[in-house]
Amino acid sequence: MDHPDNNHDSTPLTLSTHIESEVSNEGPPRIATSGDMAMAAIKYRFARLVITTVTLLLFVFGTPYLVQQIQYSLEYGKIKARYDAASVHLSSGTNESVSQRSELVSNKVAPSVVHIHTAAFDMGARTNQRILPESNLFPSRGQGSGIIVSTDGYILTNRHVIEDSNLVYVHLADQSRHTAEIIGVDKETDLALIKIARGNLIPIEWAPRDAVQVGTMVWAMGSPFGLEQSITLGIISATHRTAKVGTLYQDFLQTDAAVNPGNSGGPLVNEDGRLIGVNTAIVGDAYQGISFAVPGYVAKSISDQLEKNGRVSRGWLGLSLTNPTTELLTLHKIQIPPDQNSLGAQVTNFAPSYSPGYAAGIEINDIIIEFNGQPVTSTTQFIQAIGETPGGENAQLTLRRLVDNESQEILIKLTLGERPLE
């Protein structure tokens, strides 16, 4: 029989042996040496050096950027305050002197005007080519003006300002600079739309289509010869100018406001600071009292189409047209208004490839007198009206045709084609 004392004595012996075995396997605790402490000190000092260096670099390179951004914000705040004050004052209808009005217009328009400069790998191609060969356009020389048309960075300018450019830079009124992307161009009106990655911009206000009359006081703003934010005063000298200036789709406004190379793409505004035109062309190589602007309603249509589609779609009938003679109008018993030389548009031929007008039943010598319910006053006006209508839309023409020497009125409904690219 086992005794309790014997069992008691055996248990501590077993545990003691187990513990000693574990201790012997793990070994004694390691004591840090002076070499380990030196290495830790080196690592600590290196980390401090890296942090200090990065902090200094951020301070050296980051501080100018932060200061610049603060300056931009302060300048933008001043510009916005002047813009708001001018907007309120101009909308109040208060009569001011020309000097006061000019100051208010300048304060309202300035935030929406930008300076554009470009870079091209082939500068010879830029300086030797003209968009409108029959006119004396601004030489682009790598710089021009632009108009902010949306809060999110869309800017309207002239095509010849950015033509053949590899890089386009925009300088805003708050002195900040941005690289721009070309969204689309339109050769017929010499307009282009670009975009910068910047929000919270102040866009130009568009004037109504009927806001332009001969004698209206206007202001031109831009960067003549690179002199940014320059403003000049004049009047509308004439409207509907086309001959020897550009294409039928431009329908220029003529003004005597001082406009020079570098004003290309800048705004022409009325006494309320609203856009009535985009300065585009001059007669001669510098200001001679005559300059031309694309009307605001044309510019808005082009801008909207370029923003939406990146291109401009124009209606097309495939017709050759001329202004009808007085004798022909007399045969049709059509009376010419006292203030006009002709009326309507006479069909003389059809496009050789395809003519939507011919397919719809139009014949040579027909006189088109209405387009979509609006009177056709001339060939130029008719072509412009068709061009303002996108291809693929339905249209209605009223025309006069001689049948057995009797003038008959004929109504034709058709779908407009799209003007081919030239």
Identical topology for domains 104-307 and 315-418: no
Q: Which residues pair with 192 in a beta bridge?
A: 157, 185
Count of beta carbons in the 10 Å neighbourhood of residue 206: 16
Task: Please say if the pLDDT value at position 31 is more than 80.
Answer: no
Q: Quote the pLDDT of residue 41.
A: 77
Mean pLDDT value of segment 410-416? 94
Under a CB-based contact definition with an 8 Å cutoff, are residues 292 and 253 in contact?
A: yes
Least confident range from 36-50, 120-134, 193-207: namely 120-134
- 381 pLDDT tier (thresholds 50, 70, 90): confident
Contact 251, 384 (CB under 8 A): yes
**Paired residues of 153 in beta bridges:** none
**Taking the model in full, what pTM does it have?**
0.73
Q: Which span out of 7-16, 53-62, 391-400 was modeled with the highest average pLDDT?
A: 391-400
Predicted pLDDT of residue 62:
66
Of 66 and 184, the one with more pLDDT: 184
More confident residue, 258 or 8: 258
Which carries the bigger pLDDT value, residue 75 or residue 399? Answer: 399
For residue 148 the two structure tokens come to 């902010």
Contact of 366 with 400, CB cutoff 8 Å: yes
Q: By the 8 A CB rule, do 191 and 158 touch?
A: yes
Distance (Å, whole) CA 165 – CA 321? 37
- Domain spans, the chain: 104-307, 315-418
Instruction: Please name the residues in contact with 260: beta carbons below 8 A apart, sequence gap of 6 or more.
Output: 138, 224, 225, 282, 286, 287
pLDDT for 274 equals 96
What are the tens digits of pLDDT across the range 249-261? 778 999 999 999 9
Average per-residue pLDDT for the chain: 83
Q: What is the CATH number of domain 104-307?
A: 2.40.10.120
The stretch 165-182 carries a mean pLDDT of: 92
Instruction: Classify residue 211 by its DSSP letter.
Output: G
Q: What is the mean pLDDT of residues 88-102?
A: 80
Share of the chain above pLDDT 90, in %: 48
Hey, which of 19-23, 37-41, 148-152, 285-289 has the most confident mean pLDDT?
Answer: 148-152
Whether 17 has a pLDDT exceeding 50, the answer reads no
Instruction: Give the CA diameter of the chain.
Output: 151
Which of residues 136 and 201 earns the better pLDDT score?
Answer: 201
178 near 223, Cβ under 8 Å? no
User: Residue 145: what pLDDT?
Assistant: 96
324-364 pLDDT per residue, tens: 998 899 889 888 888 777 789 999 999 988 899 999 999 99
The yes-or-no verdict on residue 65 having pLDDT over 50 is yes
Q: Which residues are catalytic?
A: 160, 190, 264
331: its two tokens? 């045969």
Q: Which residue has the tokens 């291809």?
A: 391
What does the pLDDT read at residue 126? Answer: 46
Residue 215 sits at φ, ψ, to 5 deg, of 100, -10
Confidence class for position 210, pLDDT limits 50, 70, 90:
confident
CATH architecture classification, 315-418: Roll (2.30)
